Amino acid sequence: MDGSSPAISTRSLTKQYGSTTAVDGLSFEVPSGVVYGFLGPNGAGKTTTMRMLTGLVEPTDGDGFVAGTHCSERRHLVDRIGLLPEKPPLYDELTGREQLQFAADLRNIPWERIFDRALGLADRLDLDDDLDRRIDGYSKGMRQKTAFVQAVQHDPAVVFLDEPTSGLDPRAARTLRELIVELADDGTTVFLSTHILPVVEEIADQVGVLYDGRLVSEGSPAELTDGVGNDGDADLEEAFLKVTDDPATAW
């Protein structure tokens, strides 16, 4: 937004699995310090896109850059990004504290350097009293909180969140939304994929809609809802349903 290099950019990013094209020539840019809502129906290619951008899957064609690093350079990328996948990578035999320390060790970050930030985030999410319990005794919501702290404790330039409020009660979900906004306010770019459209409408600065592996609509939530043409009364859900029902009419 300030003319600096985009935090995320793709050029004709493509992923094929045999004869199936999961992501088809995807090109877009995400400025630094924004919340970017990445929407699409099941099977649209959202998870594949996130996996390519985080270096977990190699593109078939095209390029993706995150925080100035090509997505194929995972060794250099890992320190600049955070990732909360739909199925968080947690180890049941560890305590919550050990899991966070382990995540820091994987990045060669001294635990003492991020200790205060990690525990502050855990405290905001009412997780601090459970950090010394084994994860195999955690509820789904507690696992999700731990995975979120793990994804952002090292203060990454870009964080990718896939269904981050899954399993959270309303109070915890609100706190997490507040934390996402605070991350963006502090300069972190948040790439947010979720099916909970009111969350995107509430906190996203920009929205991209993926359908059949292609970006079919993009803009601010207000721009997308204005395109529905319901005298300003439409919400993001109506806009999403319209554009994914007939992508050929996307504005």
Q: Which residues contact 19 (CB under 8 A, 6 or more apart)?
A: none
Return the half-sphere exposure (C-beta side, CA atoms, 13 A cut-off) of residue 102: 13
CB 161 within 8 A of CB 53: no
Per-residue DSSP letter, 135: G
CB 176 within 8 A of CB 165: yes
pLDDT for the residue numbered 244 = 80
> Could you tell me the end-to-end alpha-carbon distance of the chain, in angstroms, rounded to an integer?
22
Map out the domains of the chain with their CATH numbers: 1-80+156-251 (3.40.50.300), 88-155 (no CATH)
CB 195 within 8 A of CB 47: no
Per-residue DSSP letter, 134: B
pLDDT for the residue numbered 189 = 98
**pTM for the predicted model, two decimal places:** 0.92
Pick from 145, 109, 114: which is nearest to 130 by CA?
Answer: 145
Pick from 31, 130, 28: which is nearest to 39 by CA?
Answer: 28
Dihedral sign computed on CA atoms, order 56, 62, 67, 72: positive
Q: Which residues contact 146 (CB under 8 A, 6 or more apart)?
A: 88, 90, 96, 99, 100, 122, 127, 135, 138
pLDDT for the residue numbered 48 = 96
Residue ranges of the chain with per-residue pLDDT less than 50: 1-3, 249-251
CB 27 within 8 A of CB 13: yes
Give the integer Cα–Cα distance in Å for 239 and 217: 10
Q: Which residues contact 199 (CB under 8 A, 6 or more apart)?
A: 165, 173, 177, 192
Give the integer Cα–Cα distance in Å for 58 and 54: 10
Q: Are strands 61-66 and 20-30 parallel, antiparallel or unpaired?
A: unpaired
Strand order across the beta sheet in which 61-66 lies: 20-30, 8-17, 61-66, 69-70
